Amino acid sequence: MSTKEPSKYEQVQHIFRELVGRKPALTVRAPGVVKLLGSELASSAGWLLGGTIEPAIWLATAPTTDKRVTIHALNMGETAAFQLPHLELFASSVGGNWINYPMATAWALQKAGQQLIGMDAVLVSDLPHGVGLGASAAVVLAFVRAWETLAGFTLDSLSQAHLAQKAETEYVGIPASLTTPFIAAASRTNHLVWLDGRTFTHELLPLPPNVSFVLVDSGERELTAVLRERDRECGEATAVLRQYLPHIQTLRDVSPDELDLLGHHLPETLRRRAAHVVSEYARVQSATTALRAGDLAALGRLLRQSHLSLRDNYEASNPALDLLAATAWAAPGCLGARLGSSGFLQVLVANEAVPQVIGALNEAFVEGYGRTPPSLVTKFTNGVETVAN
């Protein structure tokens, strides 16, 4: 007779009892973040569409009677501690030690005037790090939620996001966006978050539960540097267009008609960069309409158009991703696909078609590159949450 595998919650609870010798007071789940449309437009403070997925940071905690914070990081095989309220970086090099992230969280919360208490904690992750899924923001937000509960205060999603950004940028010294932790805090199961990157107004848009999300790893990692260069080019394009449109702050403020009228003032490379940004904003807005209407076919077309624009106008794709995308688009049951962060292809797939779509992707990639691309099948889930039995 087979035995049911313990849930991640049950596993973390058991590990805490084994290591700490008592039952945790609460367990927090802080998921990874994906951005379906508009992910490369953060510097233009535009609109984007994203959500949170099943892989997550798990944090089991219980308060202590002193100001000491002791954390067992299972993935690292390490235990570290620090004393509140005085916090100093553990690593001699910026961002070089995992304990800096919970310390940064405590530092940011104390800077915001919150009175914290000590805790024992067990930190476990099934969220890949360093691949653009918001793992470091998830660690910070897990500790924010834990201290909210243990110390008795409440923060809204935007305040949580500001704290996460401050912790990473000012304490750890790693540039961090505000959109990633906001999506992590605001998401809900079977929904996508439409977010205005300037005002941080947002809307939760429903996605049917019979849709799976697949991440396929092309193995290419050079796109981060490419996107930094595209940000610089978009800034140059904005400066040129501002001579004729003095009201604009970023390319977000340029309409398609205005770009058609004034695009000849831009060098061809900058015109194409601007064309992607301006058209991507329109796609994000069209996607909200499609999701409100439950029109997944329209959403899929927008994802395809976005990838083609990223390939041709933004020049931010590569042959491996283009092969995966073209294969996905042709596969029955694929609802849409577009390149994501760090060399991943993002694919929306009908639940029943997942094995066939992954099989087609594997076959094409083996033929083209001689190897099977790693893939992750997941769902859109709640954002940061306290988990109970």
What is the sign of the dihedral through the CA atoms of 51, 27, 102 and 147? Answer: positive
Residue 3 lies in a domain: no
Q: Where residue 93 sits, what CATH number does that domain have?
A: 3.30.230.10
* Domain contains 197: yes
Question: What is the per-residue pLDDT across 203-241, written as a single tens digit (0 to 9) for each?
Answer: 999 999 999 999 999 988 767 778 889 999 999 999 999
What pLDDT is stored for residue 359 in this prediction?
98
* Residue 2 is assigned to a structural domain of this protein: no
Give 193: exposed, middle or buried? Use CB within 10 Å, 0-12, 13-18, 19+: buried
C-beta neighbour count of 233 within 10 angstroms:
19
| 83/307 Cα distance (integer angstroms) | 48
Distance CA 119, CA 60 (A): 10
Q: Is residue 176 located within the same domain as residue 246?
A: no
* Look-up of token digits 């848009």: 205
- Could you give the count of Cα atoms lying within 13 Å of 124 in the half-sphere of its Cβ? 18
Q: What confidence score (pLDDT) does residue 303 get?
A: 98
Place of tokens 């077309």: 301
- Residues facing 181 on adjacent strands: none
Output the domain CATH number for residue 235.
Answer: 3.30.70.890
Residues 144, 277 within the same domain: no
CA angle (356, 361, 363) in 5-degree steps: 95
Nearest of 172, 168, 177, 169 to residue 96 by alpha carbon:
172
Whether residue 46 is found in the same domain as residue 160: yes
Of 177, 206, 235, which one is at a domain's C-terminal end? 206
Match 């927090």 to its residue by tokens.
28
In a domain, 60, yes or no: yes
Please tell me whether residues 229 and 368 are part of one structural domain.
yes
Which residue, of 178, 206, 234, is where some domain finishes? 206
Q: How many CB atoms are closer than 10 A to CB 66? A: 10
Identify the residue whose tokens are 């892989």: 55
- Which pTM value belongs to this model? 0.92
Question: In the chain, how many domains are there?
Answer: 2
Q: Model confidence over 375-385: pLDDT tens digits?
A: 999 999 999 99
Q: Per the domain annotation, does 62 fall within a domain?
A: yes
Which residue, of 159, 174, 206, is where some domain finishes?
206
Which residue segment(s) compose the domain that 36 sits in? 8-206
Whether residues 134 and 31 share a domain: the answer is yes
Q: Are residues 191 and 280 in the same domain?
A: no
In a domain? residue 389: no
Q: Within this chain, do residues 238 and 169 fall inside the same structural domain, yes or no?
A: no
- What pLDDT was estimated at residue 46? 85
Residue 37 and residue 35: Cα distance in Å, rounded? 6
Q: Are residues 192 and 218 in the same domain?
A: no
Concatenate the DSSP letters of all residues of 44-101 into one string. Answer: GT-EEEEEEEEEEEEEEEEE-SSSEEEEEETTTTEEEEEESS----S-SSTT--TTHH
Extract the residue ranges of the chain whose pLDDT is less than 70. 1-6, 88-96, 222, 389
Regarding whether 198 and 69 lie in a shared domain, the answer is yes
179 and 124 together in one domain: yes
Tokens 């990633």 locate to 180
The length of the chain in residues reads: 389
Q: With respect to residue 388, please indicate whether it lies within any of the assigned structural domains.
A: no
Write out the two tokens for 100.
Answer: 């800096």
Q: Quick check: is 45 in a domain?
A: yes
Helix (H) or strand (E) holding 194: strand 191-196
Same-domain pairing of 286 and 194: no
Position 76 scores a pLDDT of: 86
Helix axes 135-151, 157-166, angle to 10 degrees: 120
In one-letter notation, the amino acid at residue 313 is: N
Are 189 and 257 found together in one domain? Answer: no
